[in-house]
Amino acid sequence: MPGAARRGQNVAVPSDLLAMIAAERRRIADLLDSLTPAQLDTPSLCGAWTVREVAGHLVSPLVVSPWRVLPLVLRSGFNLHAANARLASQVARRPAGELAAALGTHAEHPFRPPVVGFLGQLTDVQVHGQDIRRPLGLPADLDPLRLRTSLDFLTGGRAVGFVDRRRVAGLRFEATDLGWAAGEGQVVRGTGEALLLTLTGRRVALPELDGDGVAVLTGRWPG
């Protein structure tokens, strides 16, 4: 795409990333405050989690001591994903108002996940925000700079646990609304939000993409 920003052009320093993360947490806190019980119990885009459980996942690293996580890891046979799911379900039992308040109060918490760091946390919050909004039919309204920062991360080869590298190998991704592109090969084109979801394994956005790489990408999807 002529004139498209190349990956890595928007490099954020840690203080910028923390501000971005805080802003996204506050957005989700405001959203949670506005949801009905039925909306909170709606299935999200994230596996078997409901909207409420996604909220529990986002809140848990901000309010739960790492020492309380260790017993869950042991009971889960050292399976970190299973331990994370258990923790999210436990925290999600709190009243919705308490979950929203925790996200808002601790929005500036410097939680830094191992391996993926602050970029991973920013991306996690943005993706899970869409895991909530999409099933509820709510607009994305993602901040362009924060979205580009996460797209850079997802296509930069270091997004461990976020992106299936074999699925995206040999493809070029172009965001039609951001002037952003990354990769070489057959083209997968769509909005930045649709690419964010597709890169992180959400099939829901596949019909919104075009380009000669979409068939290749779809063919690599399991099932």
Supply the range of the domain harboring residue 80.
14-111
Is 161 inside a domain boundary? no
Task: Using the predicted structure, report yes or no on whether residue 202 has a pLDDT greater than 90.
Answer: yes
Task: Using the predicted structure, report yes or no on whether residue 84 has a pLDDT greater than 90.
Answer: no
User: Can you tell me the mean pLDDT for 55-73?
Assistant: 75
Say which residues have a Cβ less than 8 Å from residue 15's Cβ, sequence separation at least 6. none
CA angle in degrees (0–180, nearest 5) for 40-44-49: 85
The DSSP letter of residue 43 is B
What would the pLDDT profile of 108-160 be if each residue is shown by its tens digit?
Answer: 999 998 889 999 999 999 999 999 999 999 999 999 999 999 999 999 999 99
Is 165 inside a domain boundary? no
Is 215 inside a domain boundary? no
Cα–Cα distances in angstroms (integers) from residue 131 to residues 22, 51, 124, 179, in the given order: 18, 8, 10, 24
Q: Check residues 10 and 161 and name the one with the higher pLDDT.
A: 161
The whole-number pLDDT of residue 5 equals: 46
The whole-number pLDDT of residue 87 equals: 76
Is 145 inside a domain boundary? no
What would the pLDDT profile of 22-54 be if each residue is shown by its tens digit?
Answer: 999 999 999 999 999 999 999 999 988 999 999
User: Can you tell me the mean pLDDT for 43-72?
Assistant: 84
User: What is the tally of structural domains in the chain?
Assistant: 1
Is 180 inside a domain boundary? no
Is 208 inside a domain boundary? no
Q: Output the 3-class SS for 172-223.
A: EEEECCCCEEECCCEEEEECHHHHHHHHCCCHHHHHHCECCCHHHHHHCCCC
Is 120 inside a domain boundary? no
Mean pLDDT of all residues in the chain?
89
Is 127 inside a domain boundary? no
Looking at the chain, the number of H-run helices and the number of E-run strands are: 11, 4
CA 109 to chain centre: 18
Whole-model pTM: value is 0.89
Distance CA 140, CA 84 (A): 26
